Chain A
Amino acid sequence: MNTKQTLVVIGNGMVGQHFLTKLVETAAKDQFHIVTFCEEPRAAYDRVHLSEYFTGKTAEDLSLVSPGFFAEHGIEIHLGDRAASIDRQQKRVTSANGVVIAYDKLVLATGSYPFVPPVPGHDRAQCLVYRTIEDLEAIKAAAEKSKIGTVVGGGLLGLEAAKALTDLGLETHVVEFAPRLMAVQLDDGGGAMLRQKIQALGVKVHLNKNTSLIDDGEQCLHKMNFADGEVLETDLILFSAGIRPRDDIARACGLEVGPRGGIVIDNQCKTSDPDIYAIGECALWNGQIFGLVAPGYTMARTAAADLAGAEAGFTGADMSTKLKLMGVDVASIGDAHARTQGALVYTYQNGSSEIYKRLVVSQDKKQLLGAVLVGEASGYSTLLQYCLNGIELPENPDSLILPQRHDESVGLGPDALPASAQICSCHDVSKGQVCGAIEAGCTTMGQLKAETKAATGCGGCAALLKSVLDCELIKQGVEVSTDICEHFPHTRQDLYNLIMVEQIKTFDELLDKHGRGLGCEVCKQAVGSILASYWNDYILEKPHIGLQDTNDTYLANMQKDGTYSVVPRVTGGEITPDGLIALGQVAKKYGLYTKITGGQRVDLFGARVEQLPLIWQELIAAGFESGHAYGKSLRTVKSCVGSTWCRFGVDDSVGLAIELENRYKGLRAPHKIKFAVSGCTRECAEAQGKDIGVIATENGWNLYVCGNGGMKPRHADLFATNLDKETLVKYIDRVLIFYVRTAARLQRTSVWMENMEGGLDYLKAVILEDRLGLAEELEQQMQHVIATYQCEWKTTLQDAQKLKRFRHFVNSDQADDNVVFVEERGQVRPANAEERRHFKLIEEAA
């Protein structure tokens, strides 16, 4: 007998999904059978980062639903089926497909739709809107037939849409009715600065424009006619002139709606029918529609809590916002327009660096009421905290926006924040909750994010979260040891600097000067790697030999039975038939198991130490060289076949991959480094999952950095676009050496980036703008590594002393009798323990 009540949720957008995830965390989960209707063909995805769909993210990447979520919680989801009507008397919802569900409680999360001004011609072909993934697909298809694209609307969403058009390679125009961009959030000065910066990026901005008619163009598909008599020709029009709440279903069943739309709700998010809630952009609270995701999430939490019988209330939301529009930082806080009685305004404008800042403070200069930041928004978190928590301003409030000449810091220390201060607005995490998690044992950003979810939404609060973490740890007296091991009271980065500054050439010298004891496998390998990165000496020189792990010592990869695998370099994955034959012959001769690797080369398994020099003699004679598969160093540069053969190829990815692999081969680093080069945006080489990824565009190469596959996949960050080869190589040189210098021990580039203070922006500043003045030095260091490259196997084969190590016994030519192979699928494999015992018995019997 089913005693559960039925809860129907109409709409599975960001807010609808957030509601579901919050509800299933409460006890109400067991009280309700949950049914949700989703009109789109896919469940909830991240509309905030929609434009990333054009820079490589897929619909799956944008999904907000963890795999198996609906099944796990027994939620019945009707995908691609729109809820069409509500019968409040019978308490039934009927869908467009004719599904009828009786409800006990109903939640409306129908969201909003893009407002399209009723201009004659607005419904012509290639006149589109920007809201769903289907919209994006239509835009992409239309863009392929277009040269010029125009966005109607210069608000936050309109500028996002404009970015999408530029990403698609269109000449982009923005047409705005108001006299400035982002009219809601910015004042005239901020709007003007934003316009200047966006125009410098090639987007043409037309203000004070009222479109009166769209008809046939002469050069383009459309001609837009404006009320002032001017015209603009364009192939594609995107309407982004604001949103309207989707309240039709509520209207039709007689729920109270606002005079200009929106389903009226109270503080518990209940509509005029106490069994029906409305949340998100369809809801009207206190005469206000909230078109941002954070207030929608707050409503979702409120409704979920109310259904679970907990006390909760929605009492409005802060509409402050910070975002990056086409690379331009823009932020708006509170009363940006100084509408408060008696408000005073401070502005700072720097024409040469294109920065505009404005503070709105109370008459007594004690409270911050609002702010506008354009071009530089690093102070956003601090200002927001002043504003939201009513923290008293410093004596000269303008010090908060004036540039800092020295090292003086006017940032608001985390100590100044009350426990109730909201750190993460996306997930509503307070400073008190963060401190609680730290007290409970979180000591890293990763742990803190996993525990509290803070900084996992838009990520805007990451820097603030980090400063709270650091501050709390220091207060607790927790000394977080960053020493590499018990033998050196230093981090890997410290050791790197000591070696560089004091020009130290051996581990012994470093240990004598800065360490204690004998060392261990941790510090020895780290120092071995640093010495190899910096001096690039042959790693098997006597002073370095004890610093190498077995793989580096034998220049091969140890497998589970103590034999090794051999991986010759196959640059860019390009190999001749003769090369393949030579590999096959060697494998056959030495009885090796062969497997194609993920990095487009061939791995030969089952070589005994004494066989390694013999194998390499033959490989080198056939033209191969060491592939460094054994080292923490550059591994492979994977490539697709590129424009040479591929119908869709835009540039020669194989050629570039070979060039890059030859340039960086042998570079020792804190961990292995993988590259890939794709010849077009289809991305067959999967470059965005690599430490360094390069993708060909019509106008050059796009560079991606710090991606990873493996245990914790990370999409690489787009670092620079449309580069010529020379610039591309220069940037890669710098990034790699900066990584080598500053990463922790065994830290891949992805984790290095995650932990870097200032993140991607900081790395860009260092590499692209040379903020540290290091660029030339970094390039020179790379030049040294390239100039001193040697094939370690070639060097080893020429040295009889070194070859002495390649035998199992120092006093016998016998082989290790514990290595036993059996056959499987036509090749050898190591015998398992059972099989080995069996062989031993046979041997002993004989």
Chain B
Amino acid sequence: MSAWIDVCHIDDLQPDSGVCALVAGRQVAIFYLPRLHAVYAVGNFDPFSEANVLSRGMVGDLGGQPMLASPMYKQHFNLQTGICFEDATVSVPAYPARIENDRVAIQMPE
């Protein structure tokens, strides 16, 4: 089991919106959904536009699944699994994320 990596303070997050963090050399989009008391972390790279923009997408749910919409061409990704709603063969990496003592931490595979 890989270790939790400390990323930032909870105040650095944007409620119902995203930020991007540099974690072990990778760009990670982190979203804070207060209604679910949850943080989600997925890769920041949008496979459709090939740009590092997913942290700037809007969030919500589709059919009850927490969802992120790419700001570029509006494809939806499942925040828990990283799988694209429109095309299940496309996905972005999804990372476990947690808040502890007001600090945000992410678990990243080696």
Compute how far the CA of A445 lies from the CA of B93 in the bound complex, rounded to whole angstroms: 44
The chain B residue sitting closest to A542, CB to CB, is: B15
Residue of B7, B17, B45 ringed by the most chain A CB atoms within 10 A: B17
Select which of B19, B51, B52, B69 is within 8 A of A560 by beta carbon: B51
CB distance from B110 to the nearest CB of A (A): 20
**B51 x A546 contact (CB < 8 A):** no
Known: A550-B56, A558-B53. A545 touches B17 (CB 8 A): yes
Q: List 6 A-B contacts (CB under 8 A).
A: A487-B61, A521-B58, A545-B14, A546-B16, A805-B19, A811-B12
Select which of A519, A558, A809 is within 8 A of B56 by beta carbon: A558
**A524 x B60 contact (CB < 8 A):** yes
**B51 x A812 contact (CB < 8 A):** no
Select which of A553, A558, A833 is within 8 A of B50 by beta carbon: A833
Compute how far the CA of A363 lies from the CA of B33 in the bound complex, rounded to whole angstroms: 76
9 smallest A-B Cβ distances: which pairs? A546-B16, A550-B71, A562-B51, A520-B60, A521-B58, A521-B69, A518-B61, A810-B19, A550-B56
Interface check A248, CB cutoff 8 A:
no
**B56 x A486 contact (CB < 8 A):** no
Known: A487-B60, A518-B33, A816-B27. A545 touches B16 (CB 8 A): yes
Select which of A519, A553, A810 is within 8 A of B20 by beta carbon: A810
Q: Residues of B contacting A548 with CB < 8 Å?
A: 58
Q: Residues of B contacting A525 with CB < 8 Å?
A: 58
The chain B residue sitting closest to A804, CB to CB, is: B12
Q: Residues of A contacting B74 with CB < 8 Å?
A: 521
Interface size class of A (residues with CB under 8 A): 35 or more
**B22 x A524 contact (CB < 8 A):** no
Interface check A89, CB cutoff 8 A:
no
The chain B residue sitting closest to A812, CB to CB, is: B22
User: What 1/0 flags go to A649-693 for Cβ under 8 Å of B?
Assistant: 000000000000000000000000000000000000000000000
User: What 1/0 flags go to B37-64 for Cβ under 8 Å of A?
Assistant: 0000000010001111100111111111
Query: Which secondary structure dominates where chain B touches chain A?
Result: strand
Compute how far the CA of A558 lies from the CA of B20 in the bound complex, rounded to whole angstroms: 16
**B58 x A549 contact (CB < 8 A):** yes
**A486 x B51 contact (CB < 8 A):** no
Compute how far the CA of A152 lies from the CA of B21 in the bound complex, rounded to whole angstroms: 80
Interface check A554, CB cutoff 8 A:
yes
Given A517-B64, A549-B71, A810-B30, 20 more pairs with CB closer than 8 A: A487-B60, A487-B61, A519-B61, A521-B69, A523-B60, A524-B58, A545-B16, A550-B56, A550-B57, A562-B49, A562-B52, A805-B19, A809-B27, A811-B21, A811-B22, A812-B21, A812-B22, A814-B22, A818-B45, A818-B52
Interface check A561, CB cutoff 8 A:
yes
Q: Residues of B contacting A562 with CB < 8 Å?
A: 49, 51-53, 72
Compute how far the CA of A724 lies from the CA of B100 in the bound complex, rounded to whole angstroms: 65
Select which of B17, B61, B63, B72 is within 8 A of A553 by beta carbon: B17
Residue of B35, B56, B58 ringed by the most chain A CB atoms within 10 A: B58
Compute how far the CA of A485 lies from the CA of B57 in the bound complex, rounded to whole angstroms: 18
Q: Residues of B contacting A833 with CB < 8 Å?
A: 50
Interface check A784, CB cutoff 8 A:
no
Q: Residues of A contacting B16 with CB < 8 Å?
A: 545-546
Interface check B96, CB cutoff 8 A:
no
Interface check B94, CB cutoff 8 A:
no
